[in-house]
Every structure is written in C-alpha cells, then in structure tokens.
C-alpha cells in the first residue's frame, strides 16, 4: 500500500508523510483498480487501519475514512503481547 501511495504521490517518501488524502485515494481508487475479492479488501482495510494507528494519527481519521468499528462488542482494539507463565 505504501508503494502504491509513493507511486501516485511522489512527494511521499516515508510512511510518516502519509496524510488522510492518501488513505482516501487508496480506499476509493486503488482498491477499485486492483479487483480484489471482498476478503482480500477487508485484509487491506484492516492493514490500513493498523498503519494509521501505528503512525499515531487521530482516531477521527478512522471514522472519516469509514474504518471505524461496525458496532459495539467484539475484541478490544488494542494489540499487546501476552506473556505466559508456562515454561516448557
């Protein structure tokens, strides 16, 4: 996805330079050109959501790009490392 953004917008050379308009272009134009099946598109949308969170962008981006949660419930949105007390 970052490569597609860099090809379309040459001024973006690092992931930190990605702005909301670049993400919107990915969702509206690039996905349509790739002809991916719905499960693959869902994987890319999830990856884009993780990229936005990893870059430390505002949660408002997710709702403005329609990447917000579908409804209440489900797993918590945090990603963490769980350490086991079992030693083998």
| Rounded-to-integer distance, Cα 2 and Cα 48, Å | 10
pLDDT by residue, tens only, the chain of 88 residues? 889 999 999 999 888 899 999 999 999 999 888 888 989 988 999 999 989 988 888 888 888 898 876 666 666 666 666 676 766 6
pTM, 2 dp = 0.72
Whole-number Cα distances in Å, 22 to 26, 52, 64, 82, 86: 6, 11, 13, 34, 45
Which residue stretches of the chain are H helix?
2-8, 20-25, 31-34, 38-54, 59-64
pLDDT at 19: 93
pLDDT at 60: 87
């Amino acid at each position: 996805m970052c490569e597609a953004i860099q090809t379309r917008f040459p001024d973006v050379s690092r992931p930190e330079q990605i702005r909301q308009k670049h993400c919107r272009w990915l969702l509206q134009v690039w996905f349509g050109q790739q002809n991916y099946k719905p499960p693959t598109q869902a994987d890319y949308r999830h990856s884009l959501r993780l990229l936005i969170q990893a870059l430390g962008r505002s949660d408002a981006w997710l709702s403005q790009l329609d990447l917000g949660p579908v409804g209440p419930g489900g797993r918590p949105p945090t990603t963490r490392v769980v350490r086991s007390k079992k030693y083998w």
